Amino acid sequence: MVQRGNIWVVALVAFAVLGIAVGAYFYGQNQSLKKVTVTPVASPTPMPTSVVSPSPTPNKATLIFEAEGSFTQAEKDELTKKVINPLLDYYSTESDQVLLTLTISKNDKASKDQYPYQGQAIFQGGGNMGFLIMKVGTGVDWWYPECMNGCNLSASYIAKYPEIASKVQ
């Protein structure tokens, strides 16, 4: 009986050592992932997952409705009025960043009931911005620029989008 107990102790110690070795291996793998650096690409291109329909916009940015057939004309009209036009106008007149593409798609994540759409903007020089478009009643909320300490908007922008100006100034 003493020998049988020793076998179990040896087996348990071997199993514990093996577990510690496997844990250390995966811990080391995880640590090496944290050291990965990302280098921005000079001119990124969007990678839509479905058929897209690009259209030129007044400030030369390309507008893309990802999976365009899934949007009704009423959805496109409201998104154009409350999100697309204010964003394009802001980046063409109020900001020094040059917008290259704006992609609007339906949100398929868990937040889709509160945020039915999402936007992805790509700027010249490799910068990008992603945002969710909030549902308000039966429509969507306005797009608002993200400004620290309030936005300095031009008089023409304020006149064109008073709903936005009242929230960000």
pLDDT at position 35 is 57
Give me 77's structure tokens. 């009209």
d(CA 99, CA 127): 9
Each residue's pLDDT, cut to its tens digit, for the chain (169 residues) gives 556 668 888 888 898 998 898 888 888 777 665 655 555 555 555 555 544 545 544 457 899 999 888 999 999 999 999 999 999 999 888 888 899 999 999 999 998 899 999 999 999 988 999 999 999 988 999 999 988 788 889 999 999 999 999 988 8
pTM above 0.85, yes or no: no
pLDDT at position 56 is 46
